[in-house]
A and B are shown apart, each in its own frame.
Chain A
């Protein structure tokens, strides 16, 4: 066996080992994606209940100067960037970071402060010398509502204290396993649903608020902000698993192609060796026969 065929065999083995890893990662990502999607579905009834409550509260909020609805300027923006904690998921993290930089370029004339959720974004922005208002990691995998509410609480505090004028969140919208796209939503000042929807709902019953309209409204508004951030985190988690699944699937397929190529090369090389040996034997026999 020549050195050439041995090399090819070694490469085939190495590609096969890598393929086993990518295949395993694909399976893990698929299982996690299923779990993440279940959570995404489970939050919907809650979301709808909060939205319905907000809808009934709406007539009382229109024209009201609730602090969460009121814009006090437009100079200082806060952008929450949700990325993953891990790599090996294709261009998932890269796309989000690129989108964040685009946002920064678009708002060059303003003062934008970043909050990073996810190790990849936190590391990148720290390395690039951005001044982070906050960095949260280990929330991508199994984020709880409590964690989301804690981050939102801090953002709301900053907004109410007048430290920032707008709060935006950049996350990955989960369209399907193979399609995710970065999405930017403004959370604060809170955008009320269009009043046009109000007329359709008919006359509003008089609602009693405990302990006061302000407190009840603040609770509902904060609740729906918590839900929005939580949902963004769940969408991102699903997207990340989807992206990882797709890219690991591609890697596994590429490995198959490589193995097929290498096997062909190997057989050719082996054939060549055999042909060479036969012709040597034949040549030697002929030489003897003369």
Chain B
């Protein structure tokens, strides 16, 4: 009665076949959950938090950015450009990154890459959300 979650990035394995009852994934059009015996699924992921739940408790939170999830025979495999477990996230660094991105957006120059700054801001906020225990947990 469980699924196994593997999260890979180009430089490491963030989670390797971690067991849980339910996994919540940040799809591009909103969050969705996967339980065991889920039909094979393929979906791109946006910037968000992957939450693993067992017995009603969140057992792991992982901030991911840009990726693809594949569900096949109770194996949930996420390949993401970047992924960090909540216990690995440096909150001070994430805060600093958020501040930098906000400053860039507030004091725009002609050569400010707005799209990039917004993406950086979204990632920083996402990391903070994953690091801090959130009301949605």
Contacts and interface: CB of A to CB of B under 8 A. Distances in A.
A219 to B, nearest CB: 3
A45 B9 CA distance: 9
A223 B79 contact: yes
Nearest to B70: A53
Contacts of A210: 27, 29, 32, 41-44
Given A145-B81, A211-B29, A49 B8 contact: yes
Contact of B44 (A43, A50, A216, A230): A216
A206 B13 CA distance: 28
A145 B9 contact: yes
B39 interface: yes
A208 B41 contact: yes
B85 to A, nearest CB: 17
A207 B40 CA distance: 5
Contacts of B68: 50, 53, 216, 219-220, 223
Interface in A149-173: 149
Given A39-B11, A46-B79, A205 B42 contact: no
B77 interface: yes
A206 B39 contact: yes
A149 B81 contact: yes
A145 B42 contact: no
A211 B77 contact: no
Contact of A45 (B13, B40, B42, B67): B13
B98 to A, nearest CB: 18
A209 B42 contact: yes
A54 to B, nearest CB: 10
A42 interface: yes
A208 B44 contact: no
B9 A216 contact: no
A94 interface: no
Given A46-B10, A145-B9, A230-B10, A211 B43 contact: yes
Contacts of A50: 68, 79
Nearest to B8: A46
Given A45-B8, A145-B11, A227-B10, A56 B82 contact: no
Interface residues of A, number: 30
Nearest to A213: B42
A223 B69 CA distance: 11
A261 interface: no
Contacts of B6: 49
Interface string B1-36: 000001011111100000000000001110010000
A218 B81 CA distance: 15
Given A46-B79, A223-B79, A56 B42 contact: yes
Contacts of A219: 43-44, 68
B64 to A, nearest CB: 13
28 contacts: A42-B11, A45-B8, A46-B8, A49-B77, A52-B77, A56-B72, A57-B42, A145-B9, A145-B81, A207-B39, A207-B41, A207-B42, A208-B40, A208-B42, A209-B41, A209-B42, A210-B41, A210-B44, A211-B43, A215-B28, A216-B43, A216-B44, A216-B68, A218-B44, A219-B43, A219-B68, A220-B42, A223-B79
Interface of B: 6, 8-13, 27-29, 32, 39-44, 66-68, 70, 72, 77, 79, 81-82
Given A56-B72, A210-B41, 20 more contacts: A39-B11, A45-B13, A49-B77, A49-B79, A50-B79, A52-B70, A53-B77, A56-B42, A145-B9, A205-B40, A205-B72, A207-B39, A208-B40, A208-B42, A210-B43, A211-B27, A216-B42, A220-B42, A220-B68, A227-B10
